[in-house]
Structure 1
Amino acid sequence: MYTVDFVEFPSKTASASGRFFTEAFGWTATPYGPDYADVAGPGINLGFQADPEEQPSAPLVTIRTDDLEQARRDVEDAGGVVTVEPFTFPGGRRFHFREPGGCELAVWCSAE
């Protein structure tokens, strides 16, 4: 099963982005170092990446799965191209891909 459940945004300052959503909407911001913040509200999870080396150029829609290896096979079999090999981050693993129309997305699974 695949579910869109996270969007990651480029940010000039992740802590300021987190503070904004906390103050404006009452959502919870969780910092992961100086360059990353997760923001959670009712039915929404966002990430803000300020590290220029890891920052997406546009909002990055992230799809959740229970089987990252199968998701990669499905992406490639459908004509997608993996742009970032699977990597581990706090909470799980993910990879990025470009679909045939040119949009970059990611697929992730939680830590097992």
Structure 2
Amino acid sequence: MQNNKINYIELPAAKLDATKTFFKQTFGWGFVDYGSEYSAFENAGLDGGFFHSEKSSNTKDGSALVVLYSDDLEGIKETIVENGGTIVQNIFSFPGGRRFHFSDPSNNEFAVWSDK
């Protein structure tokens, strides 16, 4: 553990099982359940968890944006759609790379970026 550093993130999930399946199949994350309404994720770069809630995390509502990295932006975009994610903003360029935004089965917004 590093003192005074971000250590853990928690996100809502209306469809907890579908959300876990999506991230496991799409990004290879692992999960540890703590009861029926909370599941911690691992192997995601930063540890965290999903808690059952009808709310979702979206930038239009002022939420922070969780951004993942991929060295194959087009490939991961296709995998996201195949596994039940929805593209909410197509690939665009920005200084330093390219990225797109997607929502998971619980309607949480994420982004994936690449420097390639």
* TM-score normalised by the chain length of structure 1: 0.48
* TM-score normalised by the chain length of structure 2: 0.47
